[in-house]
Structure 1
């Protein structure tokens, strides 16, 4: 498995890398533009990400916009069904609008609200077949 973490907070990168490194190879980026580049590189290398961890509140391009661009890239490359990446939203936002947008427009598998802890993250990932 290969995971991509997209968050503008380095402490989130470090926390998730420590927590998830036994389960997958990990890359982490700080912006949506970097995420799109990494995603395209992974497919070009025939080593795509199985799961993407996405923050919503980021400068320049928010997580919903990045998700839409990544899902559009999947469609343009004829990636569908079980080959689509699983989306795990990691955010401090817990309002109905953002949660709904993540699940219904972004096809999120999980929505984990910050601050989170190891048990919460691992339970959510296991319950939603991410791990």
Structure 2
């Protein structure tokens, strides 16, 4: 299983990589733009990500924008819903607007609020059939 972790905080990368060690291969990037680039490279290389863990608040392109571009590319390529990557939003934002955007605009599988706690993250991933 391949994860792409998109967050501008390197400590989140380290934490999630250690949490997912032995469960998934993780690539990490620091911005929405880098996330989109990595996503495209993986698609072109015929080795797409199974899961994208996306922060919302990042400088430049935010997580919603990056996820919308990724979803549009999947549609353009005819990737069926069952074969699309699972989107996990990881953010400190809990307002209705951001939660709604995540689920309705980009079809997030789950929304995990920071600070991240090991048991909660793993439980959310299992409950949403990601792990």
- Indicate whether 1:80 and 2:47 are aligned: no
Query: Partner of 1:71 in structure 2?
Result: 71
Aligned-CA RMSD value:
0.7
Query: Partner of 1:17 in structure 2?
Result: 17
Query: Partner of 2:49 in structure 1?
Result: 49
SS in 2 for 1:52: strand
How many residues of Structure 1 are paired with residues of Structure 2 in the alignment? 131
Query: Partner of 1:106 in structure 2?
Result: 106
Query: Partner of 1:38 in structure 2?
Result: 38
Q: 2-side partners of 1:24 and 1:36: how far apart?
A: 20
TM value normalised by structure 2 = 0.97
TM value normalised by structure 1 = 0.97
SS in 2 for 1:71: helix
Q: How far does residue 21 in structure 1 lie from its aligned partner after superposition?
A: 2.2
Q: 2-side partners of 1:81 and 1:18: how far apart?
A: 29
Query: Partner of 2:58 in structure 1?
Result: 58
SS in 2 for 1:89: strand
Q: 2-side partners of 1:18 and 1:109: how far apart?
A: 22
